[in-house]
Amino acid sequence: MRMRDSTKTRTAERVADLSSHFSRCLTRFREANRFSGPSLHFHLRTVERMRQHADAASASGDETYLEMLYATLAAWGLHRMGPGNAKLRDSSEFAPNARAMFEHAAPFYGRSVLDLDDPSARDVGRQIGKIIEAYKGDAGLTLSRSVLVANSKALHHFLPDLMPPVDRAYTLMFFFQRADAPGSAAETFEVIFPWFAAVARQNAQEIRDAVACANRSGGACRWDTSHGVHVRWR
């Protein structure tokens, strides 16, 4: 997928503006306190549980961790009652599919977006984009045909320092001024991930300080759980 020149220029300008005002954006996000309740509670518990594991195999084999992830994704809007709404697969199907996806992503376990130069970011974006695309249909976590949002949010809770959680209202609108991906999940993620890495690299120390604040005291920093969560276009 190729971005039009006008889209690429607009995105470069918006990324540069965000990066240069990163501290102010982070402060405004904290002050807004827009996300709380179950979405925060289960997110914190899931990331905490994941970080208890020294390796990918141990984490992906942890049934309690997978149950917490299931609850987190539901709290993050990926399962809603009623026909036509977002739906996660049944828990008996979700767990083995998530485990398979995480085993595929195991080489990235423990890596951080802060450490990626431009070539590495392009390579990681391409490889993870393929993983996101691969787990759909009967192998997927969601009944939706669009897997970018669900799979990126699941992978964020497996690779929290590397993966940003992608959504429609913030991420896709920021890049494309539309709420749907302009290409396949793999193509879209491959295009946008290097921009994430650029913002993270340019604001690496502030991101590290924010995560240290969350680990130390929580409070206003409680959403600052990882390196990857900071480049979600707040």
- What pLDDT is attached to residue 234? 46
Among 164, 163, 102, smallest CA distance to 134 is for 102
- What is the average pLDDT across 164-174? 89
Range of the domain at 12: 5-231
**Which region, left, alpha or beta, applies to residue 77 given φ > 0 means left and ψ of -120 to 50 means alpha?**
left
- Quote the Cα angle for 100-215-228, to 5°: 45
The string of pLDDT tens digits covering residues 53-79 is 999 999 999 999 999 999 999 999 898
The string of pLDDT tens digits covering residues 79-109 is 877 666 689 999 999 999 999 999 999 999 9
Q: What is the pTM of this model?
A: 0.92
- What pLDDT is attached to residue 233? 45
Rounded Cα–Cα distance for residues 119 and 112 (Å) = 15
Tokens matching residue 214: 């969350």
- What pLDDT is attached to residue 217? 77
- Please tell me which residue, 5 or 115, carries the higher pLDDT value: 115
Domain count, the chain: 1
Query: Sign of the C-alpha dihedral, residues 172, 188, 221, 209?
Result: negative
- The span from the first CA to the last CA of the chain, in angstroms, equals 25
Q: Cα dihedral angle (82, 88, 226, 188), rounded to 10 degrees?
A: -100
